[in-house]
Amino acid sequence: MNFNSKGEESITYDAIVVGSGISGGWAAKELCEKGVKTLVLERGRMIDHINIFKHIHAKGYTGILAMEHGNSGGGKQGELAVIHAYKTTSTF
């Protein structure tokens, strides 16, 4: 018989933030940066940089969309990451 003695510890949080909008998202960021074990609950769909255009079009917007990607890494790797981000957001 196997017992997961760390089971309760792994599903126990110091803080639970409901909603990942700007308020909840910022609260979660602050809590995490201070080392507080935080769980964010979001009832909405997963919206990230990869599917944001798809989501906006599904809501009925048919105009031109553009997104400015920051360079999260340096050198050639950073440049390639920007190109990859543009390509993946344009494939819907």
Long-range interactions of 31-37: CB distance < 8 A, separation 24+: 37/12, 37/13
**For the chain, first and last CA: distance in Å?**
48
CB of 55 to ligand FAD, least distance (A): 12
Pick 55 or 81: Cβ nearer ligand FAD: 55
* CA pair distance 59, 53, nearest whole angstrom: 10
User: 48-77: which residues touch ligand FAD (CB under 6 A)?
Assistant: none
Find the part of the chain contacting ligand FAD (CB under 6 A) among 21-29, 31-39, 64-72, 78-86.
21-29
Pick 44 or 75: Cβ nearer ligand FAD: 44
What angle is formed at CA 68 by the lines to CA 52 and CA 51, rounded to 5 degrees?
Answer: 15
The footprint of ligand FAD (CB under 6 A) covers 18-24, 41-44
